[in-house]
Amino acid sequence: MKKYKVAAVIMIIHGGFMELGGVFCMILALLLGTDKFDIGQYFEFKLPYFQENIYMMMVMGAIYGVLRLTGAIGLLKNQMWGLALSLIISTITISLMMFLLPAGIMDGILAGSTLILILMQFLGDKKIVE
């Protein structure tokens, strides 16, 4: 259970600071006006489509953040749905991280370590072939 708790803490950090932090930044930008606060100067993605739609990317990040926090809570409560949601969201993050450079590097590190910890705890010392 210890590895599940460490994985859940990593997911809370990942979901709370990285994903939901971007939403708070977007709310501030919308309150001040997007013409006065250009969020694109702080976040630069390598793909122009993402850069042009940075506010939609922040909304997407909020959805990922909420799902990641929900999975972490389920994992801390020792619920199987939390385990499944955590595996799904971490796997999706790993597959999408290359499109979101440079922020995807940190996504990959956090989601990858979460995925490794969950799989190590779930599969334990089981051998492939006995």
128 domain residue, yes or no: no
Do 116 and 107 form a contact (C-beta atoms < 8 A)? no
In a domain, 73, yes or no: yes
Question: Chain-wide mean pLDDT for the chain?
Answer: 83
Whether 129 is covered by a domain: the verdict is no
> Does residue 87 form part of some domain?
yes
In a domain, 130, yes or no: no
Name the pLDDT band for 44 (thresholds 50, 70, 90). Answer: low
Note whether residue 39 is domain-resident. no
Give the span between the Cα atoms of 46 and 112, in whole angstroms. Answer: 21
Burial pattern 70-107, b for ≥16 Cβ within 10 A else e, equals: bbbbbbbeeeeebbebbbebbeebbeebeebeebbeeb
Residue 94 belongs to domain spanning: 2-26+47-123
Nearest to 14 by CA among 96, 83, 114: 114
Contacts of 78 (CB under 8 A, 6+ apart): 1, 4
- Whether 33 is covered by a domain: the verdict is no
Could you tell me how far CA 10 lies from the centroid of its own chain? 10
Q: How many domains does the chain have?
A: 1
Q: Please calculate the CA angle 58-41-36 and round it to the nearest 5 degrees.
A: 85
* Predicted model pTM: 0.80
Is the per-residue pLDDT at 37 higher than 80? no
Q: Could you report the per-residue pLDDT of 63-104, keeping only the tens digit for each?
A: 888 899 999 999 999 999 999 999 999 999 999 888 777 778
The answer to whether residue 20 is domain-embedded is yes
Predicted confidence at residue 38, as pLDDT, reads 59
When pLDDT is cut at 50, 70 and 90, the band that residue 60 belongs to is confident
